Every structure is written in C-alpha cells, then in structure tokens.
C-alpha cells in the first residue's frame, strides 16, 4: 500500500478452509516482514504474530488440507494443459512448482514445531494473554535476547523461519492459483446493495477505486453472498444509487 494506489482489492472467503488460509497468509506475512527486529516494540509485534499463528495452526488439520488442495490444483492444471491455445510452458512450470510444494509439505516436520518448543516464544506467549503483560519488567529474558549480538539472534530467527517455509510456500502457490482462477467483471450495485449466487467457488474479490471512499461489507458462504457498500464517512458520505465495481469469483 502506498500513495500511488488507485484501487483496493477486498477479499471474502466462501468456506472455513479458505478463511483459515487467509488468516495464516496474513500472519506469515507479518512474521517474515518483522524478522529483522530492531526494537522491543517490533519484537513484541513479531512474537504476537507467532503466537497467533500457532493458535490458528492448532485449530485444524492444516497439513492434510494443503496436501488435498495441492492435489486438486495439480488435477486442474493437467486439465488446463489440454485446452486449446493455452500457454503450455506456463502450465508445465506451475505443475513443477505444485509437485515441489507437495513433496515439501508431506516430508516437513509438524508445522511450527520449532516455535512451540522454544523457551523465549513460550514465555512471551504466556504474557501476551495478559493486557499490557509484556512490559520490560515482565519479560527480562526477552530484553536480554534482544540485546544479544545480531548474528546470534539471526541464527535463531533463521531456525524459526526455515521451519515455516514449507507452510508458507505451499500456501502461497495455492492462493495464487485460486486468485488467478477468477477474472474481474464490471458489475453494478443499486442503492448500495448487491447479491448473487456462486457454485464451487473459494473466494470473492472486489475491486473499488480508493478516491470514491467506498468499501464493501460482505456476507456469504458456499453458494450465496451479499455485498453492502458503505462510505468511509458514515455520517456525511453518500453511496451513489448506481455504483460500478469489479467482482471476481475464484
């Protein structure tokens, strides 16, 4: 996100599996972005994201779901490769990537096992459940670790992140293929509302221009969805009677 952004793409999962994957994607993005800890504040942000990642992973069978989805995407790519006018070179490359991720996921140790058993992470996680319970006086061990030589901290950080790579890489390729399976169509909403039905879709993607200051409130699951468009200024902003937006069902 930057000053030159002209459109925002909003996403809404259509099943619990994709809802979990999007949450994992967000947390992994935070963790890898915060890996170069340069302050106590950024350290707490990193460990909070790690703690939430562990909680999401503990709620379901993420590995088995990823393996099933990689297999499903592999079958779809094989089917696409037989379509006329398809770029077979791209399909071959994607198939190789999917196969590679399947092998890594199947052979990897339990996701985040390095994180669950780490003394520093365990101690910080205990304090994060307490409002304001992660001050310096609460976590002297963390204070000490954050002041160790950078190479020593980088070594432990690499161990943590390397263990997450099979999860991150498989999730990245699955979500890439899901997002690219749909294409944006120009749609009109009337009086700030739009609804429709879908079949066998994972994800809704809505594209809106930033300068209109309008965002979608989406509800939906499996086969039906509804979108209510709202203005950033809830008191004085106006949503036009006919609003054009772009929608992709993936």
Provide the pLDDT for residue 81: 80
Question: What are the CA-CA distances from residue 85 to residues 91, 98, 187, 190 (Å)?
Answer: 12, 22, 28, 38
Q: In this predicted model, what pLDDT tens digit does every residue of 147-193 receive, in sequence order?
A: 999 889 889 999 999 999 999 999 999 999 999 999 999 999 999 99
Class of domain 185-249: mainly beta
Provide the pLDDT for residue 4: 65
Q: In this predicted model, what pLDDT tens digit does every residue of 88-114 receive, in sequence order?
A: 888 889 999 999 999 999 998 888 888
Whether the per-residue pLDDT at 194 is higher than 70: the answer is yes
Provide the pLDDT for residue 38: 83
On the 0-12 / 13-18 / 19+ scale of CB atoms within 10 A, 117 is exposed
Class of domain 16-180: mainly alpha
Q: What is the mean pLDDT of residues 42-54?
A: 94
pLDDT averaged over the chain?
A: 91
CA-CA distance, 69 to 231, in Å (whole number)?
Answer: 37
Please tell me if the domain spanning 16-180 has the same topology as the one spanning 185-249. Answer: no
Give the tokens for residue 98.
């999917």
In the chain, what are the domain boundaries? 16-180, 185-249
């Amino acid at each position: 996100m930057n000053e030159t952004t002209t459109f925002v793409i909003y996403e809404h999962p259509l099943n619990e599996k994709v809802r979990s994957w999007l949450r994992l994607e967000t947390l992994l993005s935070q963790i890898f972005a915060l890996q170069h800890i340069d302050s106590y504040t950024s350290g707490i942000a990193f460990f909070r994201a790690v703690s939430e990642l562990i909680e999401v992973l503990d709620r379901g069978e993420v590995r088995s779901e990823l393996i099933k989805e990689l297999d499903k995407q592999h079958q779809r790519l094989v089917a696409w490769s037989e379509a006329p006018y398809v770029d077979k070179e791209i399909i071959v490359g994607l198939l190789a990537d999917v196969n590679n991720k399947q092998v890594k996921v199947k052979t990897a140790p339990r996701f985040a096992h390095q994180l669950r058993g780490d003394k520093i992470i365990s101690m910080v996680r205990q304090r994060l459940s307490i409002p304001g319970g992660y001050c310096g006086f609460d976590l002297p061990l963390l204070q000490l670790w954050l002041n160790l030589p950078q190479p020593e901290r980088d070594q432990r950080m690499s161990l943590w992140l390397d263990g997450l790579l099979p999860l991150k890489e498989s999730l990245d390729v699955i979500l890439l293929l899901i997002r690219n399976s749909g294409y944006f169509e120009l749609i009109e909403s009337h009086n700030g509302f739009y609804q429709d039905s879908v079949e066998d879709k994972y994800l809704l993607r809505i594209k809106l221009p930033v300068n209109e200051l309008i965002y979608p409130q989406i509800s939906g699951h499996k086969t039906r969805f509804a979108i209510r468009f709202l203005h950033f200024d809830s008191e004085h902003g106006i949503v036009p009677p006919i609003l054009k937006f772009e929608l992709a069902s993936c």
